[in-house]
Amino acid sequence: MVYFCRMQTDSIDVKNILGLQLPTDPRWVNLAGMQLDEILTDHAYCEQKAATTCISLIQRYPDRVEMVEELAPIVTEEWGHFRMVLAELKKRNLSLGKQRKDEYVNNLLEFQKKDGSVEDRFLDRLLTMALIEARSCERFKRLSENLDDEYMRGFYRKFMESEAGHYTLFITLAEHYLPKDKVRKRWKDWLAFEREMVVKLEVRGDRIH
């Protein structure tokens, strides 16, 4: 969209503040490669939740016109990703299965500010999405480079390229509505929290996060 391009230009060096502080444990890719059916199920639900979360942001903040305009096509894209993963499951003669507990996301939600100003809570919601998309992008990159299955490497490269744009968008939106210094300071808090959290999480090959 034209507006998104302008916001990207206005957000100086936005990509430089998105670096995760801890790479994914190399064991995760090996475990995921042995449990691709499980990964696909978890991935499908991740895409579904991304779409519904964007819808929730639109419903909660309808007065943020620019955000609504930017997130509307993301909803469509994320739901399209959900359908792509469903198609891959069907090709493998698998059903979607039940949604699993997402310990990673639940921990992030606990870190969100529950009090303070409306702007602080709004910022944390955007940064939560930015971090989820950033880690997803990093995980998809690992899969696209290290899976033994050539087809699945290509499959996940497409998702990696999409998520890269998504996590940048959430930071850019935050900087559009709030002072950049405030956004970047809080983003550093989020990155530090995520690093400590990932260290403590069990390395599982049946989860995207």
Q: Let me know if residue 150 belongs to a domain.
A: yes
pTM score, two decimals?
0.89
The residue type of 80 is: G
Q: Is the pLDDT of residue 148 over 90?
A: yes
- Per-residue pLDDT averaged across 130-147, rounded? 93
CA distance 189 to 183: 10
The SS3 assignment for 112 reads coil
Q: Let me know if residue 143 belongs to a domain.
A: yes
Question: How high is the mean pLDDT of the chain?
Answer: 89
Higher pLDDT residue, 36 or 11? 36
13 DSSP 8-state letter? T
115 DSSP 8-state letter? S
Q: Is the pLDDT of residue 2 over 70?
A: no
Q: How many CB atoms lie within 10 A of CB 23?
A: 11
Q: Let me know if residue 67 belongs to a domain.
A: yes
Q: Let me know if residue 64 belongs to a domain.
A: yes
DSSP element (H, E) containing 85:
helix 65-91
Q: Let me know if residue 113 belongs to a domain.
A: yes
For Cα atoms 108, 116, 102, give the angle at the middle one, nearest 5 degrees: 15
Q: What is the largest CA-CA distance in the chain?
A: 50
Q: Let me know if residue 130 belongs to a domain.
A: yes
Q: Let me know if residue 108 belongs to a domain.
A: yes
Q: Let me know if residue 85 belongs to a domain.
A: yes
One DSSP character per residue, 14-81 reads: GGGG---SSPPPHHHHHHHHT-HHHHHHHHHHHHHHHHHHHHHHHHH-TT-HHHHHHHHHHHHHHHHH
Report residue 170 as tokens.
């959430």
Domain count, the chain: 1
Residue ranges making up the domain that contains 113: 35-200
Which CATH number does the domain housing residue 167 bear?
1.20.1260.10
pLDDT tier, 96 (very low <50, low <70, confident <90, very high otherwise): very high
CA distance 172 to 184: 11
CA distance 52 to 102: 15
pLDDT tens for 159-194 read 988 777 888 899 999 999 999 999 999 999 999 999
CA distance 74 to 51: 7
